[in-house]
Structure 1
Amino acid sequence: MNTNSAPGPSGIGYTIIKHISDKSSFIILKIINLSLKIGVVPDQWKQSLIHPIPKPQKFDYILANMRPIALLDNIRKSVTKLLTNRLSTILTHNKVLRRLNFCGLKGEDTAIPLHLMNDIIEDARENGKELWVVT
């Protein structure tokens, strides 16, 4: 079945996920919620396939002329989206993130926090400072 999409390690593409029954979706959601509740993440979600995609320039054994693409499992991507949506709803509703601590929330801009982070990294590099970034 050629869907012109990259399904990732499991071989399950979005077209398959979009066409599963409501009962199957419910079962998958139950498995995902149980996995999150007990803190067990399937090994397959921790893996990705990295494929080099050539840029328009001639390769000539120059890695800069290749573009790596990571293929992640689509169920994993769906879980990430589900978690992001749940967290965004909670954080937005309870106004947990304010001022410059809002990047990633729906409808918010990430440019300012990204510029700040870049400035902090450059300062640490130029002044030989140790920098720890925790997310």
Structure 2
Amino acid sequence: MDSISPAIYNSLLSPPTSEEWLSTISSMPNGKASGPSMITYEMLKHLGPAVNALLLILIRKYFATADISDLWRQAMVFPIPKPHEWHCQLQNTRPITFLEVIQKSFIKPFYNRLSSILAAHNILTGGNFAGLPGGTCRDPIITLKSIIHDANYTTSSLWILSQDISKAFDSVHLTMLKFALERIRLPASSI
């Protein structure tokens, strides 16, 4: 990964333009749950120009300083019961975390920029690019389908191991995430 130039990330923390911010807000989905402040995406979409300008000043400050408010690090976690009786046991629930919609809206331009950079410079390889623009899980699915077809055609035995990674993205080991981001030479101020 030494061949990755840190200069490719120069635009990552540039404060968003007014157009970029308004486009981000308008692209956010309606009908989603709010965070602790109870502010929804619909509320953000209906802000007047003066309040939008003030919010953009705050967002630009966060981009410029890379110093995020501690209040934005708070979230609400609700246990949603699984489809069977929960018997007052947390293991019988699925926790869901509600983050502030302004925080998620702030992260989206950063994510859009980062994913575009990673895709444009082919930083991620192998099966690590399905979530990037232009990335897909189509290739592994087609490969597996071809292997199954070949086994059927040749009447060969076929053993397939499938791992349940449904919880893989529920929590991320922060130290390992930091190492991974450093490995692709993401600037320290972006981590």
Runs of 4+, deviation exceeding 4 Å: none
Distance 2:133 2:117 in 1: 12
Match of residue 8 from structure 1:
35
| Cα pair 1:53 1:67 within 8 Å, conserved | yes
Q: Which runs of 5 or more structure 1 residues have no equivalent in the other structure?
A: 119-131
Query: What pairs up with 1:1-135 in 2 under 5 angstroms?
Result: 5-93=32-120, 95-100=121-126, 102-109=129-136, 133=176, 134-135=179-180
Where 1:109 maps in the other structure, the secondary structure is coil
How many residue pairs get aligned? The number is 115
Question: How far off is 1:59 after superposition?
Answer: 1.0
Structure with more of its chain in strand, by fraction: 1
Give 1 or 2 for the bigger CA radius of gyration. 2
Flag the structure with more relative contact order, 1 or 2, with Cα contacts below 8 A and sequence separation at least 6: 2
Q: How far, CA to CA, are the matches of 1:92 and 1:42 in structure 2?
A: 30
TM-score by length of structure 1 reads 0.69
Are the aligned partners of 2:79 and 2:93 in contact in 1 as well (CA < 8 Å)?
yes
TM-score, normalising length from structure 2? 0.51
Identity %: 34
Judge conservation of contact 2:33–2:40 (CA < 8 Å) in 1.
Answer: yes
Task: State the alpha-carbon separation in 2 of the partners of residues 110 and 40 from structure 1.
Answer: 35
C-alpha spacing 1:67/1:84, structure 2 compared with 1 (3 Å): same
CA distance in structure 1 between the aligned counterparts of 2:98 and 2:51, rounded to whole angstroms: 24
Unpaired runs of at least 5, structure 2 = 1-29, 141-161, 166-174, 181-191
Q: Which amino acid aligns with 2:71?
A: Q
SS, match of residue 64 in structure 1: helix
